[in-house]
Structure 1
Amino acid sequence: MTAPAGAGAGADGPGRAAAAVLLGNWTGASTVPSRTLYPHQWSWDSAFVAVGLRHLSPRRAQRELEMLLGAQWGDGRVPHIVFNPAVPHDAYFPGPDFWRSTGAGARAGAPAYLQSSGIVQPPVHALAALLVHRADPASSARRGFLRRVYPRLLAWHRYLTADRDLGGAGLAAIVHPWESGMDNSPSWDGPLARIEPAAPSSFRRADLDHGDPEDRPTDLDYGRYVRLAADYRDTGYADAGARHGFAVEDPCVNALLIASEEALAEIAAEVAAGTGAGAGAGGTAPAADPGVHRERAARLTEALVARLWDPAAGVFRARDLRADRPVDEYGVAGLTPLLASGLPPAVVRALRDTLAGEHFRLGELPLVASYDLKGRAFDRTRYWRGPAWFNTAWLLERGLRRHGAYGAADALRRAVPAGAAASGFAEYVDPLTGAGRGARDFSWTAALALDLAAAAGGWPEAAAPAAAGTGAR
């Protein structure tokens, strides 16, 4: 089942190489982002992986999401890491001994049968589930895939819109930079500056065993991440009513929540037309009402524009809830609200202009930098402080296409598979040269390259024999 090291550089063509990356990172139950740097299951990684896996094995794509949602807590949160008990505890930090989910998370309903982290990641899961279902509707219906995941996705969104509405304006807040998925973004520098870092002697960074220190977060930032996570753990992972050292309304988290609410409306319609919603994590059987999700998506979109849109800058800003002010940075997260179908046309036009303008230069450069090319903290190689990522390119391709910007969307549709293959399916790339940085044979890079190549009529047919030969179907 495992592929050789360096599968991303395979000589049998990019489709087979991408399939080999996903097969090589499959553990038998789920897919790790990277065999070295990230040896467990990550939340939004698995959603993106499922999007690509659906072209090789819809059944395996369904299982990827089912395994993740099986780790859901009683309060509805989907943890950002589900730990593989077969992996040594010191292979990744913070590991299960740090998070202590079964003890510290007991009041929040953490499962007693597995270990996970206690924070979350962006909610792209319902969108992924809908796309996986569409890859093979007959198989999905036979297995009751949507009926089983719908209640869990419903509980997940309720957690975000209720427990995490820390600003009281309807948007979900994050309580740790890791929850944004864009961990080391300069957008977090201001809110993080208030945090006293954990003592360097209190932890050991396993990421530096496998990553170039020039690519990774600094020791100072990492110490702050550890402090925030430990403080959250020590409150029993409490949300509403707790005092959070870091509390931010992030545009990407909320854009994905909107896109996933829109997807949940379509899932609810499928479920309602079938045999019912089935039992959820708490044993209830919620009614599947598409209208509820459409209304929630509309309310979230209205709140997103009212709270986070900066018309003078032409970008959505994160909002620091502790300081009650927007974060004055241009980040790729501020462009992802293009995913929301209900954005006002003037906002869409401004976002397109910002993408093509001096801060991101889409059209001149093939991919989109994670941070302002002219920004004070731009670094073309350091994690989320400038490098271009394939998952954000996939999101922007989808958002641009949704709003009729077909030329720009088509350019990204071509650039992602080409850049992914050329980089050895790198975790991220230098936005100016396309040179690979971070881990290689990275799962979501291979998965999303497969997806966009398939949309353009390319790779997956060539990849299918490689997948079928190892039992992926």
Structure 2
Amino acid sequence: MTTLLTTPVPAATGDLTLRRGAARVLLTNWTGSSTIPSRGLYPHQWSWDSGFIAIGLRHLSVRRAQRELESLLGAQWADGRVPHIVFNPAVPLDAYFPSPDFWRSSLEGAAAGAPAGTETSGIIQPPVHALAAWLVHLADPGTSQRRGFLPRVYGALAAWHDYLTGPRDLGGGRLASVIHPWEAGMDNSPCWDGPLERVEPMRPDSYRRADLDHGQPAERPTDLDYGRYVRLAADYRDAGYTDAPGRHAFAVEDPCVNALLIVSEHALARIATEVGADPARHQERARTLTAALVERLWSPDDGMFLCRDVVGGGLIAERSVAGLVPLVVPGLPRHIVRALVSTLTGDGFRLGEVPMAPSYDFSGAAFDSSRYWRGPAWFNTNWLLERGLRQYGHGAAADALREAMLTAAGSSGFSEYVDPVTAQARGTRNFGWTAALALDLMAAAPVADTESDHHLTEDETT
């Protein structure tokens, strides 16, 4: 029987330079209440970024890691959704698009319970937050208990999961659906190409892409894709951010989103026990979600999970890393685990031959080693794969992946993502979750160091 991993695995590296560099990224990107993913390209707080960043921050300052999650949950809507962006009002509107004046959350989202005093986006991102909260607690249970961290976040996290398994069960199959590619976190994955063909793009002259001010066009989504993203977001906004089956042009059940929901339900059960609540509903929901994941998204012929198009019907044939992330889910049937590992190390993803798993099948027609989620290797998905491999007894493969990730993080300047074969830097540099997850991978082999540049004092964490 497998269990959720809750403690770091001994790292094979103790590189002080890498540790200091990762810590410096997180300290530089700290705003006083949260961590931005990067300077320039991502100047606000992003939802699943904050979850991964908190996992790394716990090794620098448990209190700051707690604050990272608490600040995000402070922008939660009354219907339970955790928005994918919490906007910093000090940042100029033209620094990022879509900006707060596009989303108009406090006005258009009022009926759905958007906060009146904080501007956010109206969509969501993958639910890694309960896992992050549990790991932050475990980093220093005494401080967590003294500060009442888990009692403060438990209700918000439970409401978040209720939203995902309630209004967002658009397919009626007990899985959460995403209604925008940005919600899955893998913005321009080839998995979305088919469903997006139904969406009429916004005119290019109706908005301005701020992302191209900071990124290479060859590494970013195309203008056509971006026009469709804007259309979906505008239509959702104009409908008051309401969720109902049959009203979305784009609705997909994504295996990565639902795998993280399952893992977070396991974590939430542990949090419930810690705060004196009944863990049974979280345990039962984790079982129900796991069964639904296998029933609705497993493809034996592909040896991996696939996305399901809720609007058009059927599984989407594209093979992305999202279909391998469920390796992190405890208690999968043995034949599925064997198939996932075989696919991960086989011709499509070639882990072991290449340093890190790509975001899309090497042999896929849409593969592009440089363009965002259409081929490059990302640190958060590989961190999840490392945990999954280790969970199911593939320690040597997990060790090799961990070493490759640490090497790539340092050599790429903690880049957003890397070429999956050469590990050459792609995207922006000094990226928050890359630095955070590098710290997490190194955490069990601490290096004696008295330098103040990566140890926070109590005053600095408040």
Residue 14 (structure 1) aligned with residue 1 (structure 2): no
TM-score by length of 1: 0.93
The residue aligned with 2:296 is: 307
Residue 319 (structure 1) aligned with residue 323 (structure 2): no
Match of 1:134 among 133, 138, 149: 138
The residue aligned with 2:92 is: 88
Match of 1:199 among 197, 203, 207: 203
Deviation at 1:415, TM superposition (A): 1.6
The residue aligned with 2:56 is: 52
The residue aligned with 2:338 is: 349
Specify the code of the residue in structure 2 equivalent to 1:249.
Answer: E
Match of 1:467 among 438, 454, 458: 454
Distance 2:40 2:16 in 1: 24
Residue 298 (structure 1) aligned with residue 287 (structure 2): yes
The within-5 A match list for 1:48-447 is 48-241=52-245, 243-272=247-276, 288-447=277-436
- The number of aligned residues is 446
- Contact 2:23-2:453 at 8 Å conserved across structures: yes
TM-score by length of 2: 0.95
SS in 2 for 1:13: helix
Specify the code of the residue in structure 1 equivalent to 2:404.
Answer: A
Change (3 A) 1:141 1:469: closer
Distance 1:292 1:199 in 2: 46
Specify the code of the residue in structure 2 equivalent to 1:95.
Answer: S
- Contact 2:33-2:71 at 8 Å conserved across structures: yes
- Contact 2:42-2:96 at 8 Å conserved across structures: yes
Moved over 2 A (4+): 461-465, 467-473
Deviation at 1:229, TM superposition (A): 0.3
Change (3 A) 1:12 1:339: closer
Specify the code of the residue in structure 2 equivalent to 1:101.
Answer: S
Instruction: Out of 402-411 and 30-39, give the one that drifted further.
Output: 402-411
Distance 2:403 2:110 in 1: 46
Distance 2:456 2:160 in 1: 36
Deviation at 1:266, TM superposition (A): 0.6
The residue aligned with 1:3 is: none
Instruction: Out of 395-404 and 109-118, give the one that drifted further.
Output: 395-404
Specify the code of the residue in structure 2 equivalent to 1:344.
Answer: P
Specify the code of the residue in structure 1 equivalent to 2:452.
Answer: P
Match of 1:40 among 39, 44, 65: 44
SS in 1 for 2:442: helix
Specify the code of the residue in structure 1 equivalent to 2:201.
Answer: P
Q: Which runs of 5+ in 2 are unaligned?
A: 1-14
Specify the code of the residue in structure 1 equivalent to 2:72.
Answer: L
Deviation at 1:341, TM superposition (A): 0.6
Q: Report percent identity of matched pairs.
A: 67
Instruction: Out of 232-241 and 433-442, give the one that drifted further.
Output: 232-241
Change (3 A) 1:398 1:101: same
Q: Deviations over 1:54-76 (max 9, x none)?
A: 00000000000000000000000
Distance 2:237 2:288 in 1: 31
Change (3 A) 1:137 1:106: same
Change (3 A) 1:375 1:145: same
Distance 2:366 2:125 in 1: 24
What is the RMSD computed on CA atoms of the aligned residues? 1.3
Change (3 A) 1:54 1:298: same
Q: Which runs of 5+ in 1 are unaligned?
A: 1-10, 273-287
